[in-house]
Amino acid sequence: MIKPRDDGKPVQVPSKCVYCTLCAKKCPAGALTVDRANKTWTLDEDLCVGCGTCAEACPKKAILMPGDEPVAAEAPAAAPAPKAEPKPAPAPAPKAEEKPAEPAKPVEPRDDGKPAQDPSKCVYCTICAKKCPAGALTVDRANKTWTLDEDLCIGCGNCYEVCPKKAIVI
C-alpha cells in the first residue's frame, strides 16, 4: 500500500507513472527529477515546498499528496513484446509510359527532442493526441492533418510510444 506522507511532500506511485516529466517541468521549486530512460523519479526533499503543483500536473494521477487516499502497490506492467512488422505488399510495376515514383524520404528526428510526424505512415487515428498530457497535438482525420503546438509540447514522448504505426519520430 502506498500512502501519502504526513510531512506535505509528494509520493510517486510507480505503477501509474509514465515518466512524462510533466511534474518536474511544472515544479516551481525544481525539486523533481525524472529520468525517462531509466524510469526513475527523484524528489529533492530540501527543495520541495509541498505545494502540490506536481500532483495537479500529473496526467496519470501518479503522485499522492497529504489527504489523498492510499493506493494499492502494483508491480509495473511489463512492456508488451514488440510486434513483428508485416511485410509490405510488393509495389505494382510502373506502366511503360510512367517513371517510377521517387522513394519517400524518411522523416528525420528534430534537434529539440520534440516529435515529428511521418505522413507516409500515419493513419490519423488520433491516439497520439489523446495520450498527449500537454494537449500539444491536434489530429484531423477528415483532412488528414497532424499539428504540433510547439509551445505546449513538453517532449515527453508519449505520442511516440503509443503510435501504432510508428509514424512519429523523436
pLDDT band at residue 169 under the 50/70/90 scheme: very high
What are the grid coordinates assigned to 103, written together?
Answer: 522513394
Whether pTM exceeds 0.75: no
**Mean pLDDT score of the chain, rounded to an integer?**
85
Domains of the chain (ranges; CATH) run 11-64 (3.30.70.20), 116-169 (3.30.70.20)
Is residue 102's pLDDT more than 60? Answer: yes
**Residue with C-alpha cell 531509466?**
38
- Tell me what pLDDT residue 73 has: 72
Residue 78 has pLDDT above 60, yes or no: no
* Cell 517513371 -> residue: 99
Quickly state the pLDDT bin for 106 (edges 50, 70, 90).
Answer: confident
Do the Cβ atoms of 22 and 57 come closer than 8 Å? yes
Above 70 in pLDDT, residue 86?
no
Q: What is the mean pLDDT of residues 7-36?
A: 92
Question: 57-71, 90-104, 108-122: which has the minimum mean pLDDT?
Answer: 90-104
Does the structure show a pLDDT above 60 at 79?
A: no
Instruction: Say if residues 31 and 49 touch (Cβ distance below 8 Å).
Output: yes
| CA 86 to the chain's CA centroid | 25
pLDDT bin (cut points 50, 70, 90) of residue 75 is low
**Residue 98: what pLDDT?**
56
* Residue 68 scores a pLDDT above 70: yes
Residue 24 phi/psi, 5-degree rounding, is: -65, -35
Give the pLDDT confidence score for residue 97 in this predicted structure. 60
DSSP code string of 14-60: TTT----SHHHHH-TT--EEEETTTTEEEE-TTT-----HHHHH-TT
Checking if the pLDDT of 76 tops 70, the result is no
